[in-house]
Amino acid sequence: MSEEPKYLTCLCNHCSQKLEFPAEGVGTEIQCPGCGMKTLLYRILPVPNDDPLIILEPVNTYSGPVFTVTLAPGDVRYIHAEEFFETDVEKLIAQIKQSAPCPTIREPLSFALTTKQRRRIVTTESFSRLIKGESWDVRLRLYHAVVRMEVKEGMPITLYCLFHSYLALGNQFGFAECVEAWVKGTENSCDLRESYRTSPEHIVVTTSEGLEDGNCSGGVFRKTNFVKERLLAIALETARQEQEAALLKERELASAEEEKAKEGLETLKKSRFDSFVYIMEDLRNKTFKIGRSKTPYKRERTLQSEVPEIVLRFSIPADEDDERRLHGRFDPQRQRGEWFSLTADELLWIVSFLKNSGDVARVYADYEWLGRITLQASAKSESE
């Protein structure tokens, strides 16, 4: 009798790097040193030379669903779905590899499976989408594992797919963790599922777009340590993405502001004035700032960093004295600093004044705002 080897080898499920490991490690997950992904350690079974490919049929003689295995152009084999789930999947993979190192395999999307308890319809379309990017041998292993999970544990594959999608498992499949967390029976009753909505110890997972095949429309899972870890990872990833999006938006706004500032400075070079007189509005309290700057867009951005609701309404190259005259005229309406409480009539008067004294050829105006205050103004103001 030959002695059991102390070390075995297998291939990474993701990058196919050869892995050597102690024999007692079969069935555990490690991080592949090549691609960094988690991969399952398994035993590659030798195929005796006299062991024929009894389940790889060269002609599809079955009336039911089959796995279609293309070994080479003109060489197509078939595996009956029920026979596949009764066979040793590692032995089958070894047999296929002996015939072709890189076959293509098409799995059935649903089939009937007879067990001792009953005959059940197994739907695997959503699971096929989850494992689409995996290599053919990994897909066969995962297919074999998930169907055996449904048969052994009674969990519908579509419910497992909802669990996988909800927790964003990616290349972690967590079959055992899914079964451990599952509250059995909740997949059959909407009322039962809804009764868990307010429970802090459970998550309610329901059918989402893209996972609507089969009869399962949802289920309930306990917040086991595995589920809590995944929810925390999702929350941290969401926060990271939101932070990145905010930083990207900030950079885009800063870049746009810089471009506008450059345009403003170029505008001033062509004007007889060396700065803009502007009107800004604080949307929170409807007060208006009458100010002066060489770069009003940059000034707007600076103020928005403190109060996001501040927007630039009007700017025009004009004299410094024009700003002082406006401050003096509307001093009774001053709220603080350069901020004033102004009516539509008064705003239109300021715009008209600046148009007459400033460089109207190089004016910026928020025309929607300007149209709105024009409609709000009195007839007397319009005639002046």
Q: What's the whole-number mean pLDDT along residues 34-59? A: 62
Residue 304 has pLDDT above 60, yes or no: yes
Is 34 within 8 Å of 168 (Cβ atoms)? no
- Quote the CA–CA distance of 60 and 217 in Å, as a whole number: 34
Q: Is the pLDDT of residue 358 over 70?
A: yes
Task: Determine the pLDDT at residue 182.
Answer: 95
Per-residue pLDDT, averaged over 272-285, amounts to 91
| 64-68, 116-120, 328-332, 359-363: the lowest-pLDDT one | 116-120
Residue range 51-67: mean pLDDT, rounded: 62
The values of phi and psi at residue 14, to 5°, are -110, -45
Give me the mean pLDDT over the 226-235 stretch. 95
Residue 210 has pLDDT above 50, yes or no: no
Say which residue, 303 or 90, is predicted with more confidence. Answer: 90
Least confident of 31-35, 132-136, 235-239, 255-259: 255-259
> pLDDT averaged over the chain?
83
Residue 79: pLDDT above 90?
A: no
Share of the chain above pLDDT 90, in %: 38
Highest mean pLDDT among 10-19, 86-95, 175-184, 288-297: 175-184
pLDDT, tens digit, 9 for 90 and up, residues 359-377: 998 898 999 999 999 998 8
Closest by alpha carbon to 15, among 182, 134, 151? 134
Residue 54 has pLDDT above 60, yes or no: no
- Bigger pLDDT: 216 vs 111: 111
**% of the chain surpassing 70 pLDDT:** 86
Asked if residue 382 has pLDDT above 60, the reply is no
Q: What is the mean pLDDT of residues 160-179?
A: 92
341 band by pLDDT with thresholds 50, 70 and 90? very high
> Does residue 11 surpass a pLDDT of 60?
yes
Lowest mean pLDDT among 12-26, 64-78, 91-105, 341-355: 12-26
User: Cα 363 from chain centroid?
Assistant: 43
Confidence of residue 204 (pLDDT cuts 50, 70, 90): very high
**What are 313-324's pLDDT values in tens digits?**
999 999 999 999
209: confidence class by pLDDT, cuts 50, 70, 90: very low
> Above 60 in pLDDT, residue 93?
yes
- As a whole number, mean pLDDT of residues 283-290 equals 92
| Highest mean pLDDT pick, 70-84, 149-163, 320-334 | 320-334
Domain boundaries, the chain: 1-44, 240-383
Per-residue pLDDT averaged across 295-307, rounded? 75
Per residue in 178-202, pLDDT tens?
A: 999 999 999 888 889 999 999 999 9
